[in-house]
Chain A
């Protein structure tokens, strides 16, 4: 489903702020894989997700989604293949627009947008209402409300829903619960799993929470200095514990895991 073939990315090359974010990242996902991504500060986790999303062109290597080489496609062209949820709840939705307008935008992801068709149809409205009701947040009664009025958790739940309205080939979750309080984070994660299972999605989830990384998904990868250094296959993941992960990290990288936000428990 996804093939990341030896990609590299250096930001600000040749300057004092030069940063080798990705050195030789290589990863291959099967259809239906739900992989969690962990790693230290600046390991390249988010950079890899953004490279897949096409936020910037990569220096080397190529990216293939569902058999299609997307390496040279711009961000908005890749969007038809991807559902994305970001760390900052502000990023995934347009605060100045209403809930239903945001959903209507997402419902047209990857499709031609005509100046001669209405932005929202009545049929869509009832569909959105049903989908929102699933969240159990009461948003189905506030569809005309501006998204800016919602809490962070509500916005992330909405963004998740939007990312899956049009079934994506790949769902990219970039620490999407990091900005939420633990209780809300748990709810959103629960919803994430539910949506992934219901739609049978392939997904990548960056997280700084080791427990979540172990609890969710069927695969786990660990990144360090722009490479994937540990890749735990589904068979092994079920029996994995936090201590094992730390051991594996120290063994392969030859150092201690350094992430000031990493939650080990």
Chain B
């Protein structure tokens, strides 16, 4: 086992993790705060990538490109939100429908091409996986970490405002929210827009990082997003109570996810088993809180019996 090789691979895994961490923060908004399972993200991730790829290869400033990706991502969330609230389609199905539609939309954005290269030698990009081992501000980890911190700070502030609280109430207790005069349908739409905007933003960063956009690049994104959310909660959840801490956990969860993947590769396991291993890793992290709960009730139960005796 070449341990130095693993260490050398970790910066790459970390920056990939930080980028996916932003995506997972988007997932956290719907999954944990709004209590909606949103499957739009598999599509909106690729939408963000497609928008960024098209704009950057047209010579547009990459900052403007990621901003546009964010806005277009919000539109995808709007679509899912309207499917759900205005047309009464269950949230999961609404997300699947949008995801389906986005496949065609993403092809249109990229002018019918399924794959588009963003050549790091030719265009100004914000991050590139080429620089992960460079000791300078060019290193993608610097910028992506900074962006993550800004993202968490902005979300923390937003969820402390009147409207942010209304969104949280909608996710926490819809009946209560409506009784307090909150338009829960609109709150859900806004939450879905915010979430998918962030997901598309992360897709735009990923496209630059990996050097291409592809209509299928979002495939499995929801699994990685949920995995990051859950891993973060399991590993660090008990140290953080406030929202910013929880969002930070999500980001760290994504980094851990990619560390685990990198270690799996480093161990030289057959890559044909990669998907099975991914499923196992996620399943184990999902099971940990459940097992903990079981152990706790059993202990509590035993305590009671002793008292009775």
Q: Are A and B bound to each other?
A: yes
A79 to B179, CA, bound (A): 6
| Interface presence of B98 (CB below 8 A) | no
Within 8 A of A (CB), among B6-59: none
**Residue of chain A at shortest CB distance from B181:** A79
A76 touches B178 (CB 8 A): yes
| Interface presence of A77 (CB below 8 A) | yes
A80 to B175, CA, bound (A): 15
| Interface presence of A114 (CB below 8 A) | yes
| Interface presence of B192 (CB below 8 A) | no
| Interface presence of B169 (CB below 8 A) | yes
Interface size bucket, A side? 35 or more
| Interface presence of B121 (CB below 8 A) | no
| Interface presence of A186 (CB below 8 A) | no
A106 with B180, Cβ < 8 A, contacts A101-B165, A117-B162, A119-B161 known: yes
Chain B hits for A105, CB < 8 A? 165-166, 169, 176-177, 180, 182
Q: How far is the CB of A73 from chain B (nearest CB, A)?
A: 11
Within 8 A of A (CB), among B127-181: 158, 160-166, 168-169, 172-173, 175-181
B162 touches A97 (CB 8 A): no
| Interface presence of B104 (CB below 8 A) | no
Most chain B CB neighbours (cut-off 10 Å) among A96, A106, A117: A96
Within 8 A of B (CB), among A74-103: 74-77, 79-80, 82, 84, 86, 90-97, 101
A113 touches B163 (CB 8 A): yes
| Interface presence of A254 (CB below 8 A) | no
A97 with B172, Cβ < 8 A, contacts A76-B184, A109-B181 known: yes
A38 to B158, CA, bound (A): 45
Chain A hits for B168, CB < 8 A? 94, 96-97, 101
| Interface presence of A200 (CB below 8 A) | no
Chain A hits for B184, CB < 8 A? 76
A119 touches B162 (CB 8 A): yes
A188 to B142, CA, bound (A): 56
Chain A hits for B181, CB < 8 A? 76-77, 79-80, 108-111
A197 to B181, CA, bound (A): 24
| Interface presence of A257 (CB below 8 A) | no
Give the contacting residue for B163; candidates A74, A75, A84, A115; CB below 8 A: A115
| Interface presence of B297 (CB below 8 A) | no
B163 touches A114 (CB 8 A): yes
A94 touches B173 (CB 8 A): yes
Within 8 A of A (CB), among B182-209: 182-184
A118 touches B180 (CB 8 A): no
B165 touches A119 (CB 8 A): yes
Chain B hits for A90, CB < 8 A? 173
A92 to B180, CA, bound (A): 9
Q: How far is the CB of B198 from chain A (nearest CB, A)?
A: 16
| Interface presence of A185 (CB below 8 A) | no
A95 touches B163 (CB 8 A): no
Give the contacting residue for A109; candidates B164, B165, B180; CB below 8 A: B180
**Residue of chain B at shortest CB distance from A54:** B178
Q: How far is the CB of A90 from chain B (nearest CB, A)?
A: 8
Chain B hits for A86, CB < 8 A? 175
Chain B hits for A94, CB < 8 A? 168-169, 172-173, 176-177
A92 touches B162 (CB 8 A): no
Chain A hits for B178, CB < 8 A? 75-76, 79
A93 to B172, CA, bound (A): 9
**Residue of chain A at shortest CB distance from B32:** A96
A115 with B164, Cβ < 8 A, contacts A86-B175, A96-B172, A97-B172 known: yes
Chain A hits for B166, CB < 8 A? 105, 113
**Residue of chain B at shortest CB distance from A74:** B183
| Interface presence of A23 (CB below 8 A) | no
Interface membership of chain B positions 76-92, coded 1 if the CB is closer than 8 angstroms to chain A and 0 otherwise = 00000000000000000
Enumerate 17 A-B pairs (CB-CB under 8 Å) in ascending A order.
A76-B177, A76-B178, A76-B181, A91-B175, A92-B176, A93-B173, A94-B173, A94-B176, A96-B172, A106-B180, A109-B180, A109-B181, A113-B162, A114-B161, A115-B158, A115-B164, A118-B162
